[in-house]
């Protein structure tokens, strides 16, 4: 058993199993996520402090289409099965994208479900997450990476009902520079233009009916977490952006969830430096769509 501050993980994602009163913690769990990927693991706990594991939930076979950059797994229950959305670097093209895996159990094993990635083949993309719209149809929200477009984008694409493929062209929801809080940077070797990062989108349905989108970027080169809001309640927006980040202390790629007592939590990883990243759990208050830290009261 380990406590949260002993678990190295990036991009933490919590699945709350209310039937068995357990928490399942997924994330980027390779010791060096920038290199060769081993697979994905899960940690299991009865609270948000002590964890059993790690237990392997996905290990690629020799024919798998990726060997590197196994990032940001999320697990969603959909039509009676568990689907993992995760990012991979493709062997053949060297591009990055999100693929979908499937299992009958939260502990796996997860097997490839989509035929490779469901993001565009010629895009650098990452961090796909599932959204079910007001008509019950599935979408994937993901990032079109700054390494390709400079000003990173949040995009959405409609999926087939069996989650095997995209069935339309992606829609750009907004660019990072559209929000007031991220700041730009210039990369030493990749390019000299002003770049803005988009990272780790997560869709949250507020109690007042608002559709919120969490996503991460940087403020003066420090990792930060912000919130945007759909003015129509639809994933296609238009989107407006909170003035200030929700968290700006070198942490991000977060998601919101209600614990077994119905307390709202934000989880993210902090600091944003390997191998020191750890899962952080912060109690939050929600008031008429507004989300803030409980300890800010």
Q: Say if residue 207's pLDDT is above 80.
A: yes
User: Token digits for 259?
Assistant: 């614990």
The total of other beta-carbon atoms located within 10 Å of residue 80's CB is: 6
**What does the pLDDT average to over 181-196?**
81
User: Token digits for 211?
Assistant: 């559709």
Q: Say if residue 180's pLDDT is above 80.
A: yes
How far is the C-alpha of 218 from the C-alpha of 62, rounded, in Å?
37
User: Token digits for 57?
Assistant: 């939930």
Q: If pLDDT is split at 50, 70 and 90, which confidence band does 32 have?
A: confident
CA 104, 235, 155, 257 torsion-angle sign: negative
Q: Residues 39, 37, 23, CA angle at the centre, nearest 5°?
A: 35
Tell me how far the alpha carbon of residue 170 is from its chain's centroid: 18
Residue 116 Rama label (left phi>0; alpha psi -120 to 50; beta): left
Residue with tokens 């003035």: 243
Q: Is 41 within 8 Å of 29 (Cβ atoms)?
A: yes
Query: Among 126, 57, 66, which residue's Cα sits nearest to residue 90?
Result: 66
* Predicted pLDDT at 285: 97
Tell me how far the alpha carbon of residue 217 is from its chain's centroid: 13
pLDDT tens figures, 234-288? 999 999 999 999 999 999 999 999 999 999 999 999 999 999 999 999 999 999 9
Q: Say if residue 192's pLDDT is above 70.
A: no
The mean pLDDT value of the chain amounts to 96
pLDDT tens figures, 51-62? 999 999 999 999
Domain residue ranges in the chain: 2-296
Residue 150 Rama label (left phi>0; alpha psi -120 to 50; beta): left
> Quick one: fold of 2-296?
Tachylectin-2; Chain A (2.115.10)
* Predicted pLDDT at 191: 62
pLDDT tens figures, 101-159? 999 999 999 999 999 999 999 999 999 999 999 999 999 999 999 999 999 999 999 99
Task: Map residue 190 onto helix, strand or coil.
Answer: coil
């Amino acid at each position: 058993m380990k406590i949260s501050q002993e678990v190295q993980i990036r991009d933490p994602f919590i699945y709350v199993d209310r039937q068995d009163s357990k928490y399942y913690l997924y994330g980027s769990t390779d010791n060096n996520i920038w290199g060769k990927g081993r697979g994905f693991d899960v940690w299991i706990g009865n609270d948000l402090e002590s964890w059993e594991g790690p237990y392997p939930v996905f290990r690629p076979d020799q024919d798998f289409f990726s060997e590197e950059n196994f990032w940001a797994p999320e697990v969603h229950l959909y039509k009676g099965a568990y689907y993992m959305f995760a990012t991979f670097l493709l062997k053949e093209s060297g591009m990055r994208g999100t693929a979908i895996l499937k299992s009958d159990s939260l502990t796996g094993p997860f097997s490839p479900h989509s035929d490779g990635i469901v993001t565009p083949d010629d895009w650098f993309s990452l961090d796909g997450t599932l959204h079910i719209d007001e008509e019950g149809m599935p979408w994937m929200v993901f990032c079109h990476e700054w390494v390709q477009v400079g000003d990173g984008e949040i995009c959405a694409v409609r999926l087939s009902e069996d989650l095997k493929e995209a069935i339309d062209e992606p829609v750009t929801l907004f660019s990072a520079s559209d929000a007031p809080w991220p700041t730009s940077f210039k990369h030493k070797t990749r390019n000299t233009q002003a770049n803005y990062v988009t990272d780790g989108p997560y869709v949250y349905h507020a109690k007042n009916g608002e559709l919120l989108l969490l996503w991460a970027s940087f403020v003066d080169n420090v990792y930060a977490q912000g919130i945007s809001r759909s003015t129509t309640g639809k994933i296609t927006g238009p989107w407006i952006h909170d003035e200030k980040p929700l968290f700006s202390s070198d942490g991000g790629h977060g998601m919101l969830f209600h614990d077994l007592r119905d307390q709202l939590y934000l989880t993210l990883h902090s600091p944003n430096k390997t191998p020191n990243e750890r899962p952080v759990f912060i109690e939050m208050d929600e008031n008429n769509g507004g989300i803030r830290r409980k300890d800010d009261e």
